[in-house]
Amino acid sequence: MKNKNPFDTFFPFSIDKVENLEKIEKNCSNIQYAWLSGYFWNLANQTSSKLISEPNELFQKDDTEKIITIISASQTGNATLLAKRFNEYLNNENKKTNLVNVSDYNFKKIKNEKFLVLIISTQGEGEPPEEALSFYKFIMSKKAPRLDNLYYSIFGLGDISYDLFCQSGKDFDKRFSELGAKRLLNRLDADIEYEENYIKWSKDLLFSINQIDIPFLKKNNKDNLINGLNVYTKYKPASATILVNQKITGRNSTKDVHHIEIDISDLNIIYTPGDALGVWYQNSSQLINQILKLLSIDTFDKVQVKDKLITVFEALKNNFELTINTKHIVQKYADITQNKFLQKIISNDKDLNNYVKQTPLLNMINDYPKKLSSQQLINILRPLKPRLYSISSSQSETSDEVHITVGVVKKIISGSLHLGGASGYLSQFLKVDDSIKIFIEKNNNFRLPENKDLPIIMIASGTGIAPFRSFMQQRDNDGSKGKNWIFFGNPNFTEDFLYQLEWQRFLKNGLLTKMSLAWSRDQKQKIYVQDKIRENGKELWAWIEQGAQIYVCGNASKMAKDVEKALLDVFSKNSSMNIEESSEFLNDLRIKRRYQRDVY
């Protein structure tokens, strides 16, 4: 019996098409064969609905197994930047990805993920970034699903000088594992200088992904990158010019706050109310000379900084932190100097913590001077990082300018005045027409409502009022009909009412509907913004029922927590909810972007 040809049953080509294929075959290279294979495969998938019954379910299920979801959870923008880099890296390796900010991630569908990469920073006392709080609460709760089919990897960003270094990444890693997920790669906890760690991690993770026996579709060409208007970044900042540098607190104020205006007319910079301005600062020459003199180091000594050989003075000016002491600096200095007092301090963690808080770097060196080599000094210091300041202007109003509001950090220690590195540079050393290196740090989690008729409630203390100035300028230029309510607190009315004339003008012309002010030092009993929230609870709840969005800007460890407690009290007192239900309601507002915070 003649063997049956397998093509006899179903052969999709006529004889003339077969001849055409043979002609193409004779004239193609191996690369062209591969290209044609992919080309026809793609066409087949596009038209598969005509050939296969119930195709959507089949192909959609298959596609989810081939997508790597990359989630960024950032406090200062570093995690977002790395997530974008890793997304591009995988795309270049023909991997299909889904790049998403944690605030936009539908975390209730995490059970459907096959591959997940989380790049997350840590803030405050080991807490997740503001934008990741809802995801964090969900994944730690009893509502979190089993993740037995998930492969994951976590890249944690932090500062090793803090006790709870990269704690957010550690928490997610532990919880994912508890829920049954499998690690593609062990968690990486990265310090400030993370570039080398990132490069190795990204290569190792790609290798690990390739070992999993699931094919990947070609890369998704959807553009997930930031709008290309802002060509300047943290590593390639713009050089701008100071237009105004003015103190805006009173002569007798306990605070020193500066309003700074910067010219960006010749720069391709676009920003949105809610964004932050990144500033690269320089250390004080006086401080540098004091440190070098105490350590018997010549200012012209050469040191190696990355791939450059520069003077130690230049390195301290632009590359290293000098105003913040840390446990690791104390430990390294004690090891080099063999100082008995410092060695005793570092043997007790509690004593070491207290010493770091009370003793700036300069004071430590002054108390225990020692002749060091220039390279020894460089090796104990932390890399300098840019500082982020909430933008206090709307580009619709100021056009070619960007404004920031800077609270100067001042401490008197052992009879000497110590200034914060960035705030001291901005307030004391920068003059009109001086140059400054800047970049825009987008903050899509602190945005005005798209519906301009919605009411907003703004809650701030101190320099936290900065972004709300930009909000009001934008609402004014947009002709927004929504009501606006500001809660603001500071020590004294006469000395500390930041942008007083502007807020009073907003109130007078009807743009600002209501202003609730709390002056903590103007009477015997201290009054804070949380007291004003409770005092106006009934009306505030009415605004929320009308769809109001709530914004909070200020200190994370104290003010923001006290405000949240006050809001929960208002919810429970003015509705049928108890405290637990109020907490769930507030979290729901957060998920719906009706409760947004910019805390520091």
Mark the binding-site residues for FAD, compressed into ranges.
Answer: 323, 357, 387-390, 405-407, 420-423, 600
| Binding-site residue ranges for NADP(+) | 520-521, 526-530, 562
**Main-chain dihedrals φ then ψ at residue 77, nearest 5 degrees:** 105, -15
User: Do 98 and 216 touch, CB atoms closer than 8 A?
Assistant: no
User: Do 95 and 48 touch, CB atoms closer than 8 A?
Assistant: no
CA–CA separation, 599 vs 130, rounded Å?
Answer: 8
Strand-strand pairing, 96-101 and 67-73: parallel
CA–CA separation, 529 vs 491, rounded Å?
Answer: 11
Query: What is the Cα gyration radius of the chain?
Result: 29
| Binding-site residue ranges | 74-79, 121-124, 157-166, 323, 357, 387-390, 405-407, 420-423, 520-521, 526-530, 562, 600
CA–CA separation, 16 vs 240, rounded Å?
Answer: 68
Contacts of 232 (CB under 8 A, 6+ apart): 238, 267, 268, 269, 438, 439, 440
Tokens of 177: 């594992």
Residue type, 462: G
| Binding-site residue ranges for FMN | 74-79, 121-124, 157-166
Tokens of 498: 């930041």
User: Do 441 and 532 touch, CB atoms closer than 8 A?
Assistant: no
Strand-strand pairing, 514-519 and 484-490: parallel
The per-residue b/e assignment along 477-516, b for 16 or more CB within 10 angstroms, e otherwise, is: eeebebbbbbbbbbbbeebbbbbeeebeebeeeebbbbeb
CA–CA separation, 316 vs 332, rounded Å?
Answer: 17
CA–CA separation, 270 vs 394, rounded Å?
Answer: 10
